[in-house]
Amino acid sequence: MFFIIPAIVLIFLGSTFGHSCDDPQDSGLGNQSYEKFFYDPVWNACFAFKYKGSRGNENRFGSRAECEGTCMPMDGPVCNGPGKSYVDPTPKSYPSLPSGNCKDAICPNNYTCTQGFGVVLCCLTENFNASNQAYDHKCPNGAKAGGVTTEYFMATFAKTCDDLICDKGYKCQQVNKYFAKCCQSK
């Protein structure tokens, strides 16, 4: 009996409270257009999408912060995206990478050295650059990106412009083949 209650509490606290973070994006049914967010495990990121008002699946959140708080691991991967997103670096001097610093590492072509929490990895450069463009507070044309400021600025991005609802004075721009975001009109 004493073991059942702690087990139930752990199951409840460890759940995603009715959300399924691995479900694919699902806009649902209807004629409405509401901005919602879904978690994409390939990118370890929460993307905006247009929700049509009914049905859909449980990978749907009212805000990016809610999506991230529910689905993103606190110590998530340093490298994200499709393909072979990372490789281990080669140390400049053997036997190891004692400092955990990129200055002591060599990455193969098409990979960028990236420091995580106590780890050094070589991230696929295309994915690394695409992700940085998505999270940047500016758009490639230099305009201010749309997003939300709470304690810090969080750019709102989606996979395509068809998935975004831009505020007045902003226009969607496909910033690379993986991400689109709202950019202030100049």
**CB count, 10 Å around CB of 81?**
21
Does residue 27 sit in the same domain as residue 69? yes
Q: Which pLDDT tens digits describe the chain residue by residue (186 residues)?
A: 444 443 333 333 334 456 789 999 999 999 999 999 999 999 999 999 999 999 999 999 999 999 999 999 887 788 999 999 999 888 877 666 556 788 888 999 999 999 887 788 999 999 999 999 999 999 999 999 999 888 889 999 999 999 999 999 999 999 999 999 999 997
Does residue 70 sit in the same domain as residue 91? no
What pLDDT score was predicted for residue 99?
A: 65
Domain membership of residue 80 (yes or no) is no
What CATH number is given to the structural domain containing 70? 4.10.410.10
What pLDDT score was predicted for residue 93?
A: 73
Distance in angstroms (rounded) separating the CA atoms of residues 49 and 27: 7
Is residue 181 within 8 Å of residue 139, measured between CB atoms? yes
Count of structural domains within the chain: 3
Does residue 117 sit in the same domain as residue 140? no
What is the domain extent for residue 153? 136-186
Does residue 68 sit in the same domain as residue 109? no
E strands, 64-134, where? Answer: 86-87, 90-91, 105-106, 111-115, 120-124
Domain membership of residue 5 (yes or no) is no
Does residue 113 sit in the same domain as residue 153? no
